[in-house]
Protein backbone atom coordinates (compact mmCIF):
# COMPACT_ATOMS: atom_id res chain seq x y z
CA UNK A 1 0.00 0.00 0.00
CA UNK A 2 1.34 3.42 -0.93
CA UNK A 3 1.81 6.12 1.69
CA UNK A 4 -1.18 8.45 1.49
CA UNK A 5 -0.52 11.53 3.60
CA UNK A 6 -1.84 14.92 2.46
CA UNK A 7 -5.01 15.91 0.66
CA UNK A 8 -3.54 15.09 -2.73
CA UNK A 9 -2.48 11.66 -1.55
CA UNK A 10 -5.90 11.07 0.02
CA UNK A 11 -7.51 11.78 -3.32
CA UNK A 12 -5.13 9.28 -4.88
CA UNK A 13 -6.25 6.73 -2.29
CA UNK A 14 -9.87 7.61 -3.01
CA UNK A 15 -9.29 6.78 -6.66
CA UNK A 16 -7.66 3.48 -5.69
CA UNK A 17 -10.50 2.59 -3.30
CA UNK A 18 -13.16 3.53 -5.85
CA UNK A 19 -11.53 1.41 -8.54
CA UNK A 20 -11.16 -1.61 -6.26
CA UNK A 21 -14.73 -1.38 -4.95
CA UNK A 22 -16.17 -0.99 -8.44
CA UNK A 23 -14.27 -4.08 -9.51
CA UNK A 24 -15.02 -6.26 -6.48
CA UNK A 25 -18.35 -5.29 -4.87
CA UNK A 26 -21.18 -7.42 -6.36
CA UNK A 27 -23.92 -5.15 -7.66
CA UNK A 28 -26.49 -7.71 -6.48
CA UNK A 29 -25.67 -6.76 -2.88
CA UNK A 30 -26.19 -3.02 -3.30
CA UNK A 31 -28.21 -1.63 -0.41
CA UNK A 32 -27.85 -4.86 1.62
CA UNK A 33 -26.83 -4.37 5.25
CA UNK A 34 -25.19 -7.77 5.65
CA UNK A 35 -27.31 -8.34 8.78
CA UNK A 36 -27.98 -11.96 7.84
CA UNK A 37 -24.29 -12.72 8.31
CA UNK A 38 -24.76 -12.47 12.08
CA UNK A 39 -27.79 -14.73 12.34
CA UNK A 40 -27.10 -17.34 9.68
CA UNK A 41 -24.56 -19.93 8.61
CA UNK A 42 -21.63 -19.33 6.30
CA UNK A 43 -22.59 -17.08 3.33
CA UNK A 44 -22.78 -18.33 -0.23
CA UNK A 45 -22.59 -16.88 -3.72
CA UNK A 46 -21.94 -13.16 -4.09
CA UNK A 47 -22.02 -12.63 -0.32
CA UNK A 48 -19.26 -15.20 0.18
CA UNK A 49 -17.21 -13.70 -2.65
CA UNK A 50 -17.54 -10.19 -1.19
CA UNK A 51 -16.54 -11.36 2.28
CA UNK A 52 -13.50 -13.16 0.88
CA UNK A 53 -12.43 -10.15 -1.18
CA UNK A 54 -12.66 -7.75 1.76
CA UNK A 55 -10.83 -10.18 4.02
CA UNK A 56 -7.96 -10.75 1.61
CA UNK A 57 -7.63 -7.02 0.96
CA UNK A 58 -7.64 -6.29 4.70
CA UNK A 59 -10.26 -3.60 4.28
CA UNK A 60 -12.75 -5.35 6.53
CA UNK A 61 -10.38 -4.18 9.27
CA UNK A 62 -8.99 -1.08 7.55
CA UNK A 63 -6.95 0.39 10.42
CA UNK A 64 -5.63 -2.90 11.85
CA UNK A 65 -1.85 -3.53 11.47
CA UNK A 66 -0.81 -4.80 8.07
CA UNK A 67 1.58 -7.29 9.70
CA UNK A 68 -1.44 -9.37 10.75
CA UNK A 69 -3.27 -8.92 7.45
CA UNK A 70 -5.18 -5.73 8.28
CA UNK A 71 -5.51 -2.78 5.94
CA UNK A 72 -2.87 -0.68 7.69
CA UNK A 73 -4.80 2.47 6.75
CA UNK A 74 -4.78 5.76 8.61
CA UNK A 75 -8.07 6.98 10.14
CA UNK A 76 -8.33 9.49 7.29
CA UNK A 77 -7.95 6.75 4.68
CA UNK A 78 -10.48 4.57 6.49
CA UNK A 79 -12.93 7.47 6.39
CA UNK A 80 -12.42 7.84 2.64
CA UNK A 81 -12.99 4.10 2.22
CA UNK A 82 -16.21 4.39 4.23
CA UNK A 83 -17.38 7.25 2.01
CA UNK A 84 -16.66 5.30 -1.16
CA UNK A 85 -18.49 2.25 0.17
CA UNK A 86 -21.51 4.39 1.04
CA UNK A 87 -21.42 5.87 -2.46
CA UNK A 88 -22.15 2.49 -4.06
CA UNK A 89 -24.34 1.07 -1.27
CA UNK A 90 -21.66 -1.34 -0.05
CA UNK A 91 -21.21 -2.67 3.47
CA UNK A 92 -18.46 -4.27 5.52
CA UNK A 93 -19.24 -8.01 5.79
CA UNK A 94 -16.59 -8.53 8.48
CA UNK A 95 -18.26 -6.40 11.16
CA UNK A 96 -21.29 -8.71 11.45
CA UNK A 97 -19.67 -10.93 14.08
CA UNK A 98 -17.82 -10.57 17.35
CA UNK A 99 -14.33 -11.22 15.96
CA UNK A 100 -13.72 -7.84 14.34
CA UNK A 101 -15.81 -5.70 16.67
CA UNK A 102 -14.87 -7.15 20.08
CA UNK A 103 -12.49 -10.11 20.34
CA UNK A 104 -9.87 -8.92 17.84
CA UNK A 105 -9.43 -5.44 19.37
CA UNK A 106 -9.21 -6.99 22.85
CA UNK A 107 -6.54 -9.45 21.71
CA UNK A 108 -4.59 -6.50 20.31
CA UNK A 109 -4.88 -4.81 23.72
CA UNK A 110 -3.98 -7.77 25.95
CA UNK A 111 -2.72 -10.65 23.80
CA UNK A 112 0.78 -12.05 23.58
CA UNK A 113 2.49 -11.88 20.22
CA UNK A 114 1.80 -15.60 19.80
CA UNK A 115 -1.92 -15.04 20.46
CA UNK A 116 -2.04 -12.16 18.00
CA UNK A 117 -0.39 -14.15 15.23
CA UNK A 118 -2.64 -17.15 15.87
CA UNK A 119 -6.00 -15.41 16.12
CA UNK A 120 -5.88 -12.06 14.30
CA UNK A 121 -5.17 -13.20 10.70
CA UNK A 122 -8.16 -15.62 10.50
CA UNK A 123 -10.39 -12.96 12.08
CA UNK A 124 -9.22 -10.42 9.51
CA UNK A 125 -9.80 -12.83 6.63
CA UNK A 126 -13.23 -13.77 7.96
CA UNK A 127 -12.29 -17.44 8.21
CA UNK A 128 -13.49 -17.95 11.80
CA UNK A 129 -16.50 -16.74 13.78
CA UNK A 130 -16.40 -15.76 17.43
CA UNK A 131 -18.94 -15.63 20.22
CA UNK A 132 -18.65 -13.86 23.58
CA UNK A 133 -19.49 -15.71 26.81
CA UNK A 134 -20.42 -13.18 29.48
CA UNK A 135 -23.97 -13.26 30.88
CA UNK A 136 -25.24 -16.20 32.92
CA UNK A 137 -28.74 -17.00 34.26
CA UNK A 138 -27.70 -15.56 37.64
CA UNK A 139 -25.27 -12.92 36.38
CA UNK A 140 -26.72 -10.34 34.00
CA UNK A 141 -26.33 -6.70 34.96
CA UNK A 142 -24.26 -7.89 37.94
CA UNK A 143 -21.83 -9.69 35.64
CA UNK A 144 -19.15 -10.04 38.34
CA UNK A 145 -21.40 -12.60 40.07
CA UNK A 146 -20.67 -15.12 37.30
CA UNK A 147 -20.19 -18.73 38.44
CA UNK A 148 -18.82 -20.61 35.42
CA UNK A 149 -16.04 -22.61 37.05
CA UNK A 150 -12.55 -22.87 35.59
CA UNK A 151 -10.13 -25.29 37.28
CA UNK A 152 -6.39 -25.63 36.76
CA UNK A 153 -5.95 -29.22 35.53
CA UNK A 154 -2.18 -29.13 35.16
CA UNK A 155 -1.43 -28.51 31.50
CA UNK A 156 -4.91 -27.20 30.72
CA UNK A 157 -8.06 -25.62 32.17
CA UNK A 158 -11.32 -27.49 32.86
CA UNK A 159 -14.54 -25.46 32.39
CA UNK A 160 -18.03 -26.17 33.79
CA UNK A 161 -21.02 -23.85 33.77
CA UNK A 162 -23.55 -22.05 31.60
CA UNK A 163 -23.67 -18.85 29.56
CA UNK A 164 -26.77 -17.21 28.09
CA UNK A 165 -27.49 -14.70 25.30
CA UNK A 166 -24.32 -15.91 23.54
CA UNK A 167 -25.01 -14.32 20.15
CA UNK A 168 -24.15 -16.48 17.15
CA UNK A 169 -22.76 -19.31 19.30
CA UNK A 170 -24.43 -21.96 17.12
CA UNK A 171 -22.23 -20.89 14.20
CA UNK A 172 -19.08 -19.90 16.10
CA UNK A 173 -15.68 -21.57 15.99
CA UNK A 174 -14.31 -19.84 19.10
CA UNK A 175 -15.63 -18.07 22.17
CA UNK A 176 -13.99 -15.42 24.33
CA UNK A 177 -15.38 -15.94 27.82
CA UNK A 178 -15.18 -14.83 31.42
CA UNK A 179 -14.75 -17.63 33.96
CA UNK A 180 -14.19 -17.83 37.70
CA UNK A 181 -10.75 -19.14 38.57
CA UNK A 182 -10.72 -18.22 42.27
CA UNK A 183 -13.91 -18.62 44.32
CA UNK A 184 -12.19 -17.42 47.50
CA UNK A 185 -11.33 -13.97 46.09
CA UNK A 186 -13.60 -10.93 45.93
CA UNK A 187 -15.99 -11.39 43.04
CA UNK A 188 -14.21 -8.92 40.74
CA UNK A 189 -10.77 -10.38 41.53
CA UNK A 190 -11.27 -14.08 40.88
CA UNK A 191 -12.22 -13.82 37.20
CA UNK A 192 -10.14 -14.75 34.14
CA UNK A 193 -10.63 -14.38 30.39
CA UNK A 194 -10.21 -17.42 28.14
CA UNK A 195 -10.13 -17.98 24.37
CA UNK A 196 -11.89 -21.33 23.93
CA UNK A 197 -12.30 -23.60 20.90
CA UNK A 198 -16.03 -24.29 20.40
CA UNK A 199 -15.43 -27.49 18.43
CA UNK A 200 -15.29 -29.95 21.31
CA UNK A 201 -17.75 -32.41 22.89
CA UNK A 202 -17.85 -30.54 26.22
CA UNK A 203 -19.77 -27.58 24.72
CA UNK A 204 -23.50 -27.67 23.89
CA UNK A 205 -25.32 -24.77 22.22
CA UNK A 206 -29.11 -24.29 22.26
CA UNK A 207 -30.58 -21.41 20.18
CA UNK A 208 -33.18 -19.12 21.82
CA UNK A 209 -36.16 -18.09 19.68
CA UNK A 210 -37.39 -14.48 19.79
CA UNK A 211 -40.73 -12.94 18.85
CA UNK A 212 -39.01 -10.97 16.07
CA UNK A 213 -38.27 -14.17 14.19
CA UNK A 214 -34.61 -14.95 13.49
CA UNK A 215 -32.50 -14.71 16.63
CA UNK A 216 -28.74 -14.71 17.22
CA UNK A 217 -29.15 -15.64 20.90
CA UNK A 218 -28.22 -18.97 22.46
CA UNK A 219 -27.73 -20.81 25.72
CA UNK A 220 -24.26 -22.38 25.93
CA UNK A 221 -23.42 -25.20 28.33
CA UNK A 222 -19.90 -26.25 29.34
CA UNK A 223 -19.37 -29.74 30.77
CA UNK A 224 -15.70 -30.55 31.36
CA UNK A 225 -14.78 -28.38 28.38
CA UNK A 226 -11.06 -27.77 28.05
CA UNK A 227 -8.69 -24.98 27.07
CA UNK A 228 -4.87 -25.00 27.01
CA UNK A 229 -2.97 -22.70 29.35
CA UNK A 230 -2.05 -20.42 26.44
CA UNK A 231 -5.78 -19.70 26.01
CA UNK A 232 -5.59 -17.26 28.93
CA UNK A 233 -5.90 -13.65 27.69
CA UNK A 234 -4.21 -11.33 30.16
CA UNK A 235 -3.30 -12.57 33.64
CA UNK A 236 -5.11 -15.20 35.67
CA UNK A 237 -7.63 -13.72 38.12
CA UNK A 238 -7.31 -10.32 36.40
CA UNK A 239 -9.82 -10.96 33.66
CA UNK A 240 -12.27 -8.32 34.88
CA UNK A 241 -10.10 -5.60 33.33
CA UNK A 242 -9.94 -7.54 30.07
CA UNK A 243 -13.69 -8.06 30.17
CA UNK A 244 -14.40 -4.36 30.72
CA UNK A 245 -12.13 -3.48 27.82
CA UNK A 246 -14.07 -5.79 25.51
CA UNK A 247 -17.31 -4.10 26.60
CA UNK A 248 -15.83 -0.73 25.63
CA UNK A 249 -15.11 -2.11 22.17
CA UNK A 250 -18.63 -3.57 22.01
CA UNK A 251 -20.25 -0.24 22.87
CA UNK A 252 -18.05 1.51 20.32
CA UNK A 253 -19.18 -0.94 17.64
CA UNK A 254 -22.83 -0.43 18.59
CA UNK A 255 -22.53 3.32 18.07
CA UNK A 256 -20.75 3.07 14.73
CA UNK A 257 -17.57 4.41 16.34
CA UNK A 258 -15.30 1.65 15.06
CA UNK A 259 -14.85 3.49 11.76
CA UNK A 260 -14.64 0.20 9.95
CA UNK A 261 -15.73 1.36 6.55
CA UNK A 262 -19.33 0.44 7.08
CA UNK A 263 -21.26 2.37 4.48
CA UNK A 264 -24.14 0.69 2.80
CA UNK A 265 -27.52 0.24 4.32
CA UNK A 266 -30.63 1.90 2.95
CA UNK A 267 -30.06 3.71 -0.32
CA UNK A 268 -33.41 5.58 -0.10
CA UNK A 269 -33.57 8.61 2.27
CA UNK A 270 -35.99 8.22 5.18
CA UNK A 271 -37.89 11.38 4.23
CA UNK A 272 -38.53 9.99 0.75
CA UNK A 273 -40.00 6.82 2.26
CA UNK A 274 -42.30 8.99 4.38
CA UNK A 275 -43.42 11.02 1.37
CA UNK A 276 -44.19 7.85 -0.60
CA UNK A 277 -46.51 6.50 2.11
CA UNK A 278 -48.00 9.66 3.63
CA UNK A 279 -48.09 11.94 0.58
CA UNK A 280 -46.99 15.52 -0.03
CA UNK A 281 -48.66 18.95 -0.12
CA UNK A 282 -48.72 21.37 -3.05
CA UNK A 283 -45.19 22.51 -2.18
CA UNK A 284 -43.77 18.98 -2.24
CA UNK A 285 -43.45 18.79 1.52
CA UNK A 286 -44.59 15.91 3.72
CA UNK A 287 -48.35 16.45 4.05
CA UNK A 288 -48.64 15.59 7.76
CA UNK A 289 -47.29 18.70 9.56
CA UNK A 290 -46.82 16.97 12.92
CA UNK A 291 -45.03 14.01 11.35
CA UNK A 292 -42.91 16.39 9.28
CA UNK A 293 -41.78 18.18 12.44
CA UNK A 294 -40.95 14.97 14.28
CA UNK A 295 -39.17 13.48 11.27
CA UNK A 296 -37.09 16.65 10.94
CA UNK A 297 -36.11 16.44 14.60
CA UNK A 298 -35.18 12.77 14.15
CA UNK A 299 -32.98 13.55 11.15
CA UNK A 300 -31.29 16.31 13.16
CA UNK A 301 -30.71 13.91 16.07
CA UNK A 302 -29.25 11.32 13.71
CA UNK A 303 -27.00 13.92 12.12
CA UNK A 304 -25.86 15.21 15.52
CA UNK A 305 -25.08 11.64 16.60
CA UNK A 306 -23.00 11.08 13.48
CA UNK A 307 -21.08 14.33 13.92
CA UNK A 308 -20.44 13.49 17.59
CA UNK A 309 -19.04 10.13 16.52
CA UNK A 310 -16.68 11.87 14.11
CA UNK A 311 -15.59 14.34 16.80
CA UNK A 312 -15.00 11.56 19.33
CA UNK A 313 -12.92 9.66 16.78
CA UNK A 314 -10.83 12.76 16.07
CA UNK A 315 -10.30 13.43 19.78
CA UNK A 316 -9.30 9.80 20.35
CA UNK A 317 -6.32 9.97 17.95
CA UNK A 318 -3.32 8.64 19.78
CA UNK A 319 -5.50 7.18 22.54
CA UNK A 320 -5.63 3.43 23.14
CA UNK A 321 -9.00 2.56 21.65
CA UNK A 322 -12.48 3.00 23.06
CA UNK A 323 -13.23 5.40 25.91
CA UNK A 324 -16.10 6.13 28.30
CA UNK A 325 -17.60 8.29 25.57
CA UNK A 326 -18.86 5.03 24.07
CA UNK A 327 -21.38 4.83 26.91
CA UNK A 328 -22.86 8.21 25.93
CA UNK A 329 -22.89 7.33 22.25
CA UNK A 330 -24.38 3.90 22.89
CA UNK A 331 -27.46 5.48 24.48
CA UNK A 332 -27.61 8.06 21.71
CA UNK A 333 -27.45 5.36 19.04
CA UNK A 334 -30.21 3.43 20.80
CA UNK A 335 -32.46 6.49 20.94
CA UNK A 336 -31.93 7.32 17.26
CA UNK A 337 -32.46 3.73 16.12
CA UNK A 338 -35.56 3.04 18.21
CA UNK A 339 -37.11 6.39 17.27
CA UNK A 340 -36.64 5.58 13.60
CA UNK A 341 -38.18 2.13 14.04
CA UNK A 342 -41.26 3.55 15.79
CA UNK A 343 -41.67 6.27 13.19
CA UNK A 344 -41.27 3.79 10.33
CA UNK A 345 -44.22 1.73 11.53
CA UNK A 346 -46.27 4.90 11.92
CA UNK A 347 -45.41 5.94 8.37
CA UNK A 348 -46.30 2.52 6.95
CA UNK A 349 -49.69 2.59 8.67
CA UNK A 350 -51.55 -0.70 8.35
CA UNK A 351 -48.79 -1.87 5.98
CA UNK A 352 -46.48 -1.77 9.00
CA UNK A 353 -48.48 -4.45 10.80
CA UNK A 354 -47.64 -7.34 8.49
CA UNK A 355 -45.98 -10.56 9.52
CA UNK A 356 -46.19 -12.57 6.30
CA UNK A 357 -48.07 -12.74 3.02
CA UNK A 358 -48.10 -11.26 -0.47
CA UNK A 359 -50.00 -8.18 0.70
CA UNK A 360 -46.79 -6.78 2.21
CA UNK A 361 -43.53 -5.66 0.66
CA UNK A 362 -40.32 -7.09 2.05
CA UNK A 363 -39.31 -3.70 3.48
CA UNK A 364 -42.59 -3.64 5.38
CA UNK A 365 -42.08 -7.11 6.81
CA UNK A 366 -38.50 -6.19 7.74
CA UNK A 367 -39.74 -3.08 9.52
CA UNK A 368 -41.93 -4.93 12.02
CA UNK A 369 -39.23 -7.52 12.68
CA UNK A 370 -36.61 -4.79 13.10
CA UNK A 371 -38.91 -2.83 15.44
CA UNK A 372 -39.35 -5.87 17.67
CA UNK A 373 -35.67 -6.82 17.75
CA UNK A 374 -34.62 -3.19 18.18
CA UNK A 375 -36.17 -3.16 21.63
CA UNK A 376 -33.14 -5.18 22.75
CA UNK A 377 -30.78 -2.30 21.94
CA UNK A 378 -31.52 -0.62 25.26
CA UNK A 379 -30.63 -3.88 27.06
CA UNK A 380 -27.70 -5.62 25.35
CA UNK A 381 -24.15 -4.34 25.65
CA UNK A 382 -25.08 -2.73 28.97
CA UNK A 383 -28.64 -1.55 29.60
CA UNK A 384 -29.77 2.06 29.25
CA UNK A 385 -29.75 2.37 33.04
CA UNK A 386 -26.26 0.86 33.36
CA UNK A 387 -24.94 3.33 30.77
CA UNK A 388 -26.52 6.22 32.67
CA UNK A 389 -24.78 5.06 35.85
CA UNK A 390 -21.44 4.94 34.02
CA UNK A 391 -22.03 8.40 32.57
CA UNK A 392 -22.99 9.91 35.94
CA UNK A 393 -20.14 8.35 37.92
CA UNK A 394 -17.19 8.11 35.51
CA UNK A 395 -17.81 11.02 33.17
CA UNK A 396 -19.77 13.60 35.18
CA UNK A 397 -18.21 12.65 38.51
CA UNK A 398 -21.54 12.64 40.33
CA UNK A 399 -21.74 10.95 43.76
CA UNK A 400 -22.69 7.32 43.98
CA UNK A 401 -26.12 7.21 45.65
CA UNK A 402 -26.56 3.45 45.19
CA UNK A 403 -24.32 2.48 48.12
CA UNK A 404 -25.51 2.51 51.72
CA UNK A 405 -23.61 4.77 54.11
Distance CA 379, CA 385 (A): 9
DSSP 224-244: EEEEEGGGEESSTTBHHHHHH
Is 250 catalytic? The answer is: yes
**Interacting residues of 398 by C-beta distance below 8 A, sequence separation 6+:** 392
Distance CA 295, CA 303 (A): 12
Distance CA 227, CA 194 (A): 8
Per DSSP (E only), the strands in 43-100 are none
- Check: CB of residue 332 under 8 Å from CB of residue 377: no
Terminal C-alpha separation, the chain: 59
What is the DSSP-derived secondary structure letter of residue 197?
Answer: E
3-state helix, strand, coil in the chain (%, to 5): 50, 15, 35
- Check: CB of residue 126 under 8 Å from CB of residue 55: yes
Residue among 230, 250, 282, 385 flagged as catalytic:
250
- Check: CB of residue 61 under 8 Å from CB of residue 92: no
Distance CA 350, CA 342 (A): 13
By annotation, the residues acting in catalysis are 250
Amino acid sequence: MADFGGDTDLEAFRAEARGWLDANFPKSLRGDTGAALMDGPAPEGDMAAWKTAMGEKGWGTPTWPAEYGGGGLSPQQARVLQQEMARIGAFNPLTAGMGVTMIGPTIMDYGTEEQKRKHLPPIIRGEVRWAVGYSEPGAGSDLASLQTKCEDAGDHYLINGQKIWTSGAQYSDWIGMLVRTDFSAKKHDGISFLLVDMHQPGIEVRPIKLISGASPFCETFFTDATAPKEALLGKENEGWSVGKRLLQHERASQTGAMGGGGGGGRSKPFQDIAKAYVGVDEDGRLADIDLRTRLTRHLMDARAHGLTLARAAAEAKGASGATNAASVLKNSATYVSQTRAEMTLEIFGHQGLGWEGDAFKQEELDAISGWLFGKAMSIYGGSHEIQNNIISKRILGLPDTTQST
